[in-house]
Every structure is written in C-alpha cells, then in structure tokens.
C-alpha cells in the first residue's frame, strides 16, 4: 500500500500521528516507512521536508524524505535504532521550511504563468533549491523589461490574495481544464489552480504533486534576480517568500551603506557612482598627462647631465615614472638608457634604446638576471624585469 500523503489534503498540517508500517532502505541508507505522512518527499524539483518523529519520549530527527516507485515514503532518521514496525509515532514538520517551499513553489507556478503571458515563453523545467530557484524557459533570450513585467504580474496576483486549489479532478473535469502544461503521469492527476472558483477568473492551472500556499498572499513577495542563456534556453533565477524578503532586506542594508559612503540617498547610488567613475577616469587622464610632462623634463635633464656615448643611468622613486622616462629616451638618437625604480623589495628595471643604437637591451638584462637572480625579458629595443634588493644599480650598469 502506498503511503497516504497528508500534505496533499492540507499543506498547512505540520503535526500528525502515524504507525510505522515497514523498515526500508533508500540509497543504501536505512529508512522508516509510515502508513501516512505529512512529510513532503523530494520530487518534481522541490526539496524534501525536515522535522522530527517522536516515539513516546524519544525524538528522532528526520534528515531527508524520499519516495520510491511504489509510492512508499521513506523517512531517513538520525543515528539510532529505528522505531519498531507497528509502533505509533507522531511527526512534526519543520514549519518555516515548509512555508518557504510552499511560497517558492506557488511563486514558481505564477512566474511560469507570467513568463508565458508576457513573453510566450513555456517553462521547460524548474528547480526549487536549498539556496536558489530557477525556471528554464523555451526562448533563446529574454529582455530585462520582460522579466520586470513578469515579476510585476506575479506580485499583482500575490496582492490579490486569490485562493489556490489543489485536487484530483475526474476525467471529464480534467479534459475541460486549460492546463498550462501536460501531466507527467497518466492517471490520478492532481491539479493546482490559482483562482477559477467563486466568480474569480482562473489565473493558472497545472498538474502538480507539490506543496503550495492556500492563498497567493501567503507567497508574500516574488523577486526575479535575472536571466542567463542556458543550453539554448533561458534560465530565470527567482526567489519568493521569507527567502526573498531576507535577501531583499539584506540588499537594502548594503545599498544604504553604499549610499552613506557616497553621501547620497539609496535611490541616487547609480548616478552618484557614475559621477565617481567619471571623476576617477578624468583624474587618471590628468595624472597620465602630468607624468608625461615630468618624464619629458626629467629625460632632458638626464641627457644633458650624461653626455654620449655613455648610457643614461638613473634610479627613480616610481615605476610608472621610470617607464614614462624610458619611453621619452627611446626617441633619443644613438642613446640607450638603463633605468631602475627601487620599491623597497628590489629593483624594477627598464632598459631601452633609441634609434641608431645597437645596444641589446634583452641580452643585457638576461646577463644581469643570470648573475644576480630576478626575472625579466624583452626585445633588443626594450627589456623590463625585476632584480633582488640590495644591488647597486650604478655599479651594475657602469661596471
């Protein structure tokens, strides 16, 4: 006899009495099978319930719940002897987790309906995970505006607080129902419908065996995080219920902190950040021009102080300034420059030659690193590298 599924009748039932009907196994782990259960077993993309089974004074945690092909629900308990076959037990379902998955699941139905309405996008599959929920839809791409529109439509139905019905219609009733998707089973088809009774228009009807809210307002809120291309389809990420509320509130805290840093209101963060970005770019450009001017002046001074044919040798305080001076000196006819910048840990060095010079910069640097360690390389015209600290650059270059 398959296990009687109490959650089908009442998804809000969190405590129940039952009898142990068998000991079983699932994935080689020992399980307890009951004659009836309010625990939802993992199925249809929805995670299993958690909670506890009590036998007299003893309480055993329910770590996982699975269902087999015969319809037997297996409860995987924490370590210890399983309650005896025939024993009376009482079950307690983790209410917060159940309510969350009810919200996620009902939210998923509404989101699939909304994506169909807004973008004619059929849901191929969905997954309600421990930390993330997704709906894969049969379109190659979806505009952000369509996602926002679908999200708004879902939240509108949530606000309307419509009744959610779950039942097993007979064949005639089933044939007349405009199901959003075809059932995966041939008989005993359970339908979950949002609206559609007592003069309320039917919003969505689909075959489903999961746990759902009994009214749409219990979802609380649904937020669509975004969409990405996935195997020729589009994967939409969403959140709902207490999880969405927690995520959104956490994001508000971060947004407020960012706004405080930028000295603006939370809604002005994007323009304030954009201004900051433009300021940084302008500053970077100004600094670059300044460095070039300083480098040009420094290069002229070095050339004047160190007449040809000797190499132009210098130790500078800044790596970027050193590179800029090297670039200036590469235009000096017949000269080559051996520059270093001391950053405390060692020497960053650049060797560069001007037109008409036959000095081999790469060979020179290679010889230095061979003799003293460090690394670097380049071409005959220009080479760059690092040497260990404690070396005297003037001695190395004039010795």
Contact footprint for Zn ion (CB under 5 A): 105, 208, 210
Residue 212 CB, nearest approach to Zn ion (Å): 6
Contact 46, 210 (CB under 8 A): yes
Residue 90's nearest CA partner among 38, 22, 31, 23 is 38
Q: Which residues contact 48 (CB under 8 A, 6 or more apart)?
A: 39, 40, 41, 42, 64, 65, 66
Cα–Cα distance measured from residue 138 to residue 233, given in angstroms and rounded to the nearest whole number? 5
Residue 76: closest CA among 64, 92, 94, 93: 64
Residue 153 CB, nearest approach to Zn ion (Å): 18
- Closest by Cα among 51, 97, 57, 224 to 149: 224
* Cβ contact 214:47 at 8 Å: no
Structure tokens at 189: 């088809």
Query: Strand ranges (DSSP E) for 178-274?
Result: 191-195, 202-207, 222-230, 233-240
CB of 223 to Zn ion, least distance (A): 19
Nearer to Zn ion by Cβ, of 239 and 357: the residue is 239
Of 178, 204, 201, 184, the C-alpha closest to 192 is 204
Instruction: Scan for tokens 């599959």, then name that residue.
Output: 125
**Residue closer to Zn ion (CB basis): 208 or 236:** 208
Give strand pairing partners of 388: 346
CA distance 186 to 203: 24
Give me the least distance between CB of 186 and Zn ion, in Å please: 19
For residues 341 and 319, is the Cβ–Cβ distance under 8 A? yes
Q: Shortest Cβ distance from residue 104 to Zn ion (Å)?
A: 10
- Least Å distance between CB 8 and Zn ion? 12
Burial category of 287 from C-beta neighbours within 10 Å (exposed 0-12, middle 13-18, buried 19 and up): exposed
- CA–CA distance, 111 with 323 (Å, rounded to integer): 57
Smallest gap from residue 52 Cβ to Zn ion (A): 25
The least CB distance from residue 110 to Zn ion, in Å, is 10
- Count the neighbouring beta carbons within 10 Å of the beta carbon of residue 44: 15
Judged by CB, which is closer to Zn ion: 33, or 137?
137
Closest residue to Zn ion in the complex (CB): 208
Rounded to a whole number of angstroms, the minimum distance from the CB of residue 37 to Zn ion is 18
CB of 210 to Zn ion, least distance (A): 4
Distance CA 93, CA 39 (A): 6
Give 60 or 109: the residue with its C-beta nearer to Zn ion: 109
Read out DSSP for 127-196?
A: EE-SS-EEEEESSS---HHHHHHHHHHHHHHHHTT-BEEEE---HHHHHHS--SS--SSSSS--EEEEE-
């Amino acid at each position: 006899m398959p296990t009687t599924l109490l959650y089908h009748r009442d998804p809000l039932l969190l405590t129940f009495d039952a009898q142990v009907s068998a000991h079983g196994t699932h994935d080689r782990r020992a399980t307890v099978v009951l004659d009836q259960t309010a625990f939802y077993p993992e199925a249809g993309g929805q995670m299993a319930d958690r909670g506890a089974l009590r036998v007299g004074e003893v309480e055993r945690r329910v770590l996982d719940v699975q269902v087999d092909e015969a319809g037997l629900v297996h409860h995987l308990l924490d370590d210890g002897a399983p309650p005896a076959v025939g024993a009376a037990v009482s079950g307690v379902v983790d209410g917060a987790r159940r309510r969350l998955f009810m919200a996620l699941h009902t939210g998923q139905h509404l989101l699939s309906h909304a994506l169909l309405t807004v973008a004619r996008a059929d849901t191929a599959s969905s997954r309600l995970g421990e930390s993330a929920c997704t709906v894969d839809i049969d379109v190659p791409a979806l505009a952000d505006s369509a996602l926002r529109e679908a999200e708004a439509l879902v939240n509108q139905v949530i606000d309307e607080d419509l009744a959610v019905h779950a039942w097993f219609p007979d064949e005639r009733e089933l044939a007349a129902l405009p199901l959003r998707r075809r059932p995966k089973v041939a008989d005993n088809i359970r339908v979950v419908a949002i609206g559609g009774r007592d003069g309320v228009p039917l919003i969505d009807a689909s075959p489903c065996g999961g746990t759902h809210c009994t009214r749409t307002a219990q979802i609380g809120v649904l937020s669509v995080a975004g969409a990405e291309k996935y195997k020729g389809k589009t994967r939409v990420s969403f959140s709902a219920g207490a999880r969405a509320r927690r995520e959104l509130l956490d994001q508000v805290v971060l947004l407020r902190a960012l706004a405080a840093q930028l000295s603006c209101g939370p809604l002005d963060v994007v323009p304030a950040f954009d201004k900051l970005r433009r300021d940084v770019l302008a500053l970077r450009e100004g600094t670059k021009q300044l460095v070039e001017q300083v480098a040009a002046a420094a290069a002229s001074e070095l050339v004047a102080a160190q007449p040809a044919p000797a190499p132009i040798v210098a130790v500078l305080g800044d790596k970027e300034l050193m590179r800029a001076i090297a670039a200036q000196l590469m235009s000096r006819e017949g000269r080559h420059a051996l520059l270093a910048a001391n950053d405390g840990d060692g020497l960053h060095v650049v060797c560069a030659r001007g037109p008409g010079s036959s000095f081999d910069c790469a060979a020179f640097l290679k010889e230095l690193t061979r003799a003293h360690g460090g690394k670097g390389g380049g071409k005959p015209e220009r080479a760059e590298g690092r040497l260990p600290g404690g070396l005297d650059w003037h001695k190395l270059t004039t010795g």
